[in-house]
Amino acid sequence: MKKLPLAIAYMVFAAVTIAPSHRRLLHRMGAACALIVAFAMMLLVPPVIRSQPAPRLKSQFKVLPRVTITVLVDNLVADGRVLGEWGLAMLIETGQRRVLFDTGGGRVLADNARALGVDLSKVDAIVISHGHDDHTAGLSKALEATGKTDVFVHPAVFRTAYWKEGSRGVPYTMLVSREQLNMRAQRVVETAGPTLVIDGIMVTGAIPRVTDFEDTGITTEAFIDEAMKTPDTVPDDQALFFRTPEGVVILLGCGHAGAANTIRYVSALLGENRIFAVVGGTHLLSASPHRIQETGEAFQRYGLQKIMLSHCTGVAAFSSLAAAFPGRCSWPAAGSVIEFKK
């Protein structure tokens, strides 16, 4: 490798001194040299890959016979063996395969997993819904428990944004840097678009924002500039989805792209007009009555049968939706176990 720069320098020197009649041969040699350099660079690049195209047809996305979700982190608790914190983490199990979706706020993930008998060393992949620390502060401890495993993140997760604290913008970014993650993960898969995580489970990548009633839920709190002039759109927000015998299930981290936008996008990707369940945070914490009503109408339009909202949904929004969908709403707090099967 150390001789490559010398070889390139020689080729440049030859280009200006060799006779014109031989320059065609030199051009070919130069092209070969460029290919060698490119190959060498590929060997030195960290283990980052780009997302792969999603299956767009219903027949290409398999039905998972049984899926179990264990809520490892949430604000509330449903089991006396675990603790709550502001954050979210869920373990998805499909027979022999396991995916950890988010890692919580960093204080309770490992202890809660042990209390619930969950072996994080068997996790096949970690998916990060977005870069906020209530979903990523536990990533370092999660990687300690899992060892080298695949980590799926939107590329914008590594950017710096600003959180409003009083009259100033305080910078924040994911606590684990891109360089650190490259060193600690088996692979880092940057999910700009829909990407298969394991057989039967997919992450959306960036979600198109098309509704006129949804925003990030934090437009007055998070910005992309220190002067706090431009709200942060949280472009890294993404969701998980899979198909069960009962229907399609979507997992949300905070739903900063909008719950209705997310459902609409998954529906379009799979060619489905019915979604069976939505699980996770929807950031309706400070939503207007109009937005909550429109969100409920979207749930109705797509025929949701299980509306399992938690974390940043907010009590007022949850109560309103529970009243609108009697018997279909629940709050899966930490320690909850959810099953989808025949």
Q: Which pLDDT belongs to residue 280?
A: 98
User: Is the model's pLDDT at 48 over the cut of 80?
Assistant: no
Half-sphere exposure of 306 (CA within 13 A, CB side): 19
Which of 226, 104, 87, 237 lies closest to 165, judged by CA? Answer: 226
What digits encode the pLDDT tens for the residues 202-256? 999 999 999 999 999 999 999 999 999 999 999 999 999 999 999 999 999 999 9
**For the chain, what percent of residues have pLDDT higher than 70?**
82
Q: Which pLDDT belongs to residue 153?
A: 98
pLDDT level of residue 97 (50, 70, 90 thresholds): very high
User: Is the model's pLDDT at 148 over the cut of 90?
Assistant: yes
Task: Give the separation between CA 321 and CA 299, rounded to whole angstroms.
Answer: 10
Task: Give the separation between CA 251 and CA 281, rounded to whole angstroms.
Answer: 8
pTM metric for this prediction: 0.84
User: Is the model's pLDDT at 47 over the cut of 70?
Assistant: no
Computed over every residue of the chain, the mean pLDDT equals: 88
Q: Which pLDDT belongs to residue 213?
A: 98
Residue reference for tokens 């098309």: 210
pLDDT level of residue 7 (50, 70, 90 thresholds): very low
**For the chain, what percent of residues have pLDDT higher than 90?**
81
Residue boundaries of the structural domains of the chain: 4-44, 48-341
Task: Give the separation between CA 171 and CA 323, rounded to whole angstroms.
Answer: 39
pLDDT level of residue 314 (50, 70, 90 thresholds): very high
Q: Which pLDDT belongs to residue 60?
A: 63
CA distances to 19, 24, 73, 329 from 16, in Å: 9, 13, 65, 75
pLDDT level of residue 58 (50, 70, 90 thresholds): low
Q: What is the mean pLDDT of residues 130-155?
A: 98
- Contacts (Cβ under 8 Å, ≥6 apart) of 290: 213
* CATH level 3 topology of 48-341: Metallo-beta-lactamase; Chain A (3.60.15)
pLDDT level of residue 177 (50, 70, 90 thresholds): very high
